[in-house]
Amino acid sequence: MAKRARVAILISGRGSNMAALLYAAKRQGCPYKVVLVASNDPDARGLAVAAAENIPTFSHSHKGMEREEFDALIHDALREADADYVVLAGYMRILSSGFVEKWEGRMLNIHPSLLPKYKGLDTYQRAIDAGDTVSGCSVHLVTPTLDDGPVLGQTEVAILADDTPEKLATRIRIAEHQLYVRVLEDLVSRELDPDWLVGKVNQLALELPQTHAKTSHGSPGWRVGTEKSGKFFAYVSVHHHGEDAVALLVKTSGTDEQAALIEAEPDIYYRPAYYGASGWIAVRLDTGAVDWDHIASWLRKSWSFVAPKKLQPLVEFLGD
Ligand code: GRF
């Protein structure tokens, strides 16, 4: 079976979304597994639910701690569990921006409104008071601003004439449980989809100066220079030359660096067929948890090896 993404769930209370995600993960073929449930409240009811399902739990009260200090504790627990993704499910803590940055693109939240409407608390009452006929829930990526990141999915829930906040909340929660599972499955699956991986590399490669995409022997590639005489600085190999991997091919300083990288991190690097002889390296993209900053820095480095001298100053300001 394909590798399953490792998901940690943060809760503060009941944990019904956590339970929905946990039970969904029992389905054979579910693309994620829950590796940790953590809480800022040692009495959170969801912790017992997770423990009864043999999921490792971690809890520590945030009381009396600085926000950064507490978030560092949670971050350590996430690292220890080797989590690829963090899912907030009723986690009632404002997160420090340092913590959010560390999990950028890999941390989700669920919110009981149709964002951007009704950020913050009392969403049900506010929707009813406004006379809305529909409310619902949203799953979004977490950014430093509260309830503000890109929305990945929403479900509308009709408001009834005699709705109270409690009644509406109960129905929205049913929708939440289904939406959260679906969005999480989609998010973790796309990182194993070759087309999505190529698109992501394309976006990063074209951010570099004077670059364009060009197919080479059937593989997607990127060149620096003019359309006429540009030189390749990156390719993506999708099961090419009989390899089972999807990988980024970039130039190193030579075969010494190439060998050192493969020895140090054999799970990430390998010597690609054909290009390997001239010091190119393959960086695996099919691990399910690619560090895209790392990929961006490889693209920059490879660009620098290949780009004409007169273009070099253009990337110096980008750093490594
Ligand atoms: C949910 O309504 C969710 O939208 C909000 O907090 C609540 C958590 O409920 N962020 P539960 O703990 O998952 O039951």
Whether residue 157 has pLDDT greater than 70? yes
Domain C-terminal end among 172, 192, 212:
192
Domain count within the chain: 2
Same domain for 241 and 136: no
3-state secondary structure of 168: helix
Domain check: are 177 and 215 in the same one? Answer: no
Distance 13 CA to ligand 1 centre (A): 8
123 and 172 Cβ atoms separated by less than 8 Å: no
Residues 172 and 229 grouped into a single domain: no
Q: Are 156 and 115 in contact (CB under 8 A)?
A: no
Give the mean model confidence (pLDDT) for residues 109-132: 97
Shared domain for 170 and 204, answered yes or no, is no
Residues in contact with ligand 1 (CB, 6 Å cut-off): 11, 13-18, 89-90, 110-112, 137, 173, 176
CATH code: domain of residue 256: 3.90.1150.30
Residue 186 has pLDDT above 50, yes or no: yes
User: What is the 72 CA–ligand 1 centroid distance (Å)?
Assistant: 23
Which residue, by CA, sits nearest to atom 7 of ligand 1?
90
Q: According to the model, what pLDDT value does residue 312 have?
A: 74
152 shares its domain with 270: no
Give the range of the structural domain holding residue 222, as residue numbers without chain letter: 194-317
Residue 319 — very low, low, confident or very high, per pLDDT cuts 50/70/90? low
Burial of 133 (0-12, 13-18, 19+ CB in 10 A): exposed
CA 149 to chain centre: 13
pLDDT above 70 for 124: yes
Q: Which of 111, 140, 177, 240 is catalytic?
A: 111
Residues 188 and 212 in one domain: no
Give this prediction's pTM: 0.83
Residue from 196, 192, 126, 186 nearest 153 by CA:
186
Could you confirm whether 111 is annotated as catalytic? Answer: yes
CATH code, 183? 3.40.50.170
Examine the pLDDT at 313 and tell me if it is beyond 60. Answer: yes
User: Poorest-confidence range of 171-175, 214-218, 315-319?
Assistant: 315-319
* pLDDT category of residue 241 using cuts at 50, 70 and 90: low
Mean pLDDT of 201-229: 94
**181 and 242: one domain?**
no
Q: Are residues 184 and 310 in the same domain?
A: no
Which residue CA neighbors atom 9 of ligand 1 most closely? 90
If asked whether residues 162 and 203 sit together in one domain, one would say no
Between 273 and 53, the more confident residue is 53
Looking at 162, 192, 222, the residue that finishes a domain is 192
What is the maximal distance between C-alpha atoms in the chain?
A: 73
Residue minimizing CA distance to atom 5 of ligand 1: 90
Residue ending a domain, among 157, 192, 227, is 192
**Residue 146: which pLDDT band, with cuts at 50, 70 and 90?**
confident
Within this chain, do residues 57 and 152 fall inside the same structural domain, yes or no? yes
- Does 174 lie in the same domain as 221? no
Tell whether omega for the bond before 116 is within 30 degrees of 0, i.e. cis: yes
Same-domain status, 19 and 79? yes
